[in-house]
């Protein structure tokens, strides 16, 4: 089951999308089932396909590389990306759901699921090329002097949703 996190609970409603694309809305035991709640429930059911399109499965930390993942498809030019920087070993592009003024993803071109696999399997040239891509991307985005955050999620507990190692370069404003 894929859980969709809403910013705030809406009258005790929980929205869930199952792997087989069945969708359900669950009411808390304390939630009133009066007329306003029923209207809200009907509205949420109508919007479920919109939420389902954005739902993503979490990746296990020990998962094998999946060549069908979105970032691998971007590397093969099967999906579009707003590219910021590219070198022999890495590609940087704008995040489609930015969390700040500057939110760019930097990915290695090799088949690595997370930073642990990258550290074990990448050559020294790939590692240096990836670090250079981060540095050059920060410069291109104008955050090399003001500062930025670099975030990498590894595994389910960290919230990794794409089984391709990547870092989020976030900045352009004060970020927490």
Q: Active-site positions?
A: 166
Using the structure block, give the residue that is written with the tokens 């910013």.
7
Spatial CA neighbour of 137 closest among 97, 100, 90:
90
Task: Count, in order, helices (H) and strands (E) of the chain.
Answer: 4, 8
Handedness of CA 9, 13, 19, 23 (dihedral sign): negative
Encoded tokens for 158: 């960290």
54's CB contacts (< 8 A; 6+ apart) are 4
């Amino acid at each position: 089951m894929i859980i969709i996190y809403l910013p705030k609970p809406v009258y005790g409603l929980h929205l869930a999308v199952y792997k087989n694309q069945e969708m359900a809305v669950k009411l808390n035991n304390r939630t009133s089932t009066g007329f306003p709640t029923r209207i809200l429930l009907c509205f949420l059911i109508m919007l479920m396909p919109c939420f389902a399109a954005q739902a993503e499965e979490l990746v296990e930390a020990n998962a094998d590389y999946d060549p069908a993942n979105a970032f691998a498809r971007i590397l093969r030019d099967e999906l579009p990306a707003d590219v910021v920087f590219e070198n022999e070993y890495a590609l940087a592009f704008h995040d489609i759901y930015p969390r700040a003024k500057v939110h760019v993803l930097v990915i290695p071109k090799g088949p690595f699921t997370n930073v642990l696999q990258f550290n074990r399997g990448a050559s020294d040239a790939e590692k240096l090329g990836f670090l250079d891509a981060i540095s050059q991307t920060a410069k291109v985005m104008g955050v090399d002097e003001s500062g930025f955050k670099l975030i990498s999620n590894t595994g389910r507990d960290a919230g990794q949703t794409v089984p391709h190692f990547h870092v989020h370069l976030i900045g352009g404003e004060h970020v927490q």
